[in-house]
Chain A
Amino acid sequence: RKEVEQDPGPFNVPEGATVAFNCTYSNSASQSFFWYRQDCRKEPKLLMSVYSSGNEDGRFTAQLNRASQYISLLIRDSKLSDSATYLCVVPSGAGSYQLTFGKGTKLSVIP
């Protein structure tokens, strides 16, 4: 299994829809995980941190399943402004100093 795998999409959803992305990882020792959002030609920006079983912030919910080694991101009531690429990030390497990024899932929210 690759270190971090994401479905590249694209996911094209109508406004108001609920959409979910999954990210699988191979390092079972990983403790903390992150979801980032990246707009076209911009730097990634932190969306959510996931340190235990899950985290919720408004319309966004991140969940962690350690047994199956995946994290998920759920977006409810999608807005046009949610259109972006979503990157999952997993610690890797000795001491977990390194962070490995998935290649990203592209979301387009359509009017």
Chain B
Amino acid sequence: DVKVTQSSRYLVKRTGEKVFLECVQDMDHENMFWYRQDPGLGLRLIYFSYDVKMKEKGDIPEGYSVSREKKERFSLILESASTNQTSMYLCASRSWSNSPLHFGNGTRLTVT
């Protein structure tokens, strides 16, 4: 079974803090993704990576950056957290472009 692990289940940060969300997958998957999910808006893609050191902007990249230095790890960085970044963050991975996503169990971030 594919395992995608997100470092924190719940996180509370203050406005202006730099926040790191970590995601690790154990199946040697090429592609990794960061989504956020908000009520009424569904899942929205922030960034994705199709290979080590490669990254592509998704639909809502503003205020975020990512890092993929190793194949198994994909980090999401909030440079200066704001209250409108309070959300559920979901990391996912997949092996190739027509295969399904496997999700981590999410990080519920609250920015106060």
Contacts and interface: CB of A to CB of B under 8 A. Distances in A.
Contacts of A65: none
Count class of interface residues, chain A: 20 to 34
Contacts of A32: 98-99
B51 to A, nearest CB: 10
B39 to A, nearest CB: 10
B48 interface: yes
Interface string A38-50: 0000111110010
Contacts, number: 51
Given A96-B98, A97-B50, A87 B106 contact: no
Interface in B40-71: 40-43, 45, 48, 50, 56, 58
Query: What class of interface size applies to chain B in its complex with A?
Result: 20 to 34
A51 B42 contact: no
Interface string A71-111: 00000000000000001010100011111111110000000
A98 B43 CA distance: 12
A89 B48 contact: no
B105 A43 contact: yes
Interface of B: 31, 33, 35, 40-43, 45, 48, 50, 56, 58, 90, 97-106
